[in-house]
Amino acid sequence: MQTNPIKPTVAIPTKSAMDLVNQAKSEIENLTPAQANEETSSPDVVMIDVREADELKQGCIPGAISAPRGMIEFYADPSLAYYKPEFTKDKRLIIYCASGGRSALTVQTLEDMGYNNVAHIEGGFKAWQAAGLPVAK
């Protein structure tokens, strides 16, 4: 005789995406656009744009490198073929996205990977533009 298997229960997430973003922001270094702009003149600062390719059409912070969030772990791991040399632990990394959520999560991930000098721009590229700071097309 065949019995009906017990249906597994589906765990309901206890944290929303915004819960995770807010938690990350409480644990990382948050910079205003003005603070980030002050740091861009240093050769020891690398600006990293984690927005997707279609978002880059809006422009970017001059000198920023593109590294979509979905590839961050691979770009930041020197043991992998995807590694980007801009992801060096010897420099200050400033991360931004459109409004600050993905960049906060990225900073938290990089810190988990051993990066110690990393921050994000609170409010992201939208806040950067609203502050009237330079934008490259």
Query: What is the pLDDT, as a whole number, of residue 9?
Result: 75
2 part of a folded domain: no
Instruction: Give the 3-state secondary structure percentages of the chain, helix then strand then coil, rounded to 5.
Output: 35, 15, 50
Ordered per-residue pLDDT tens for the chain, 137 residues? 555 566 667 777 689 999 999 999 999 999 999 999 999 999 999 999 999 999 999 999 999 999 999 999 999 999 999 999 999 999 999 999 999 999 999 999 999 999 999 999 999 999 999 999 999 98
CATH of the domain at 51: 3.40.250.10
Q: Which residues contact 36 (CB under 8 A, 6 or more apart)?
A: 47, 94, 96, 119, 121, 128
Query: What is the pLDDT, as a whole number, of residue 85?
Result: 96
Count of structural domains within the chain? 1
- Report the candidate in 106, 95, 98 with the shortest Cα–Cα distance to residue 20: 106
Domain extent, residue 81, equals 28-130
Cα(88)–Cα(45) distance, integer angstroms:
10
47 part of a folded domain: yes
CA 88 to chain centre: 15
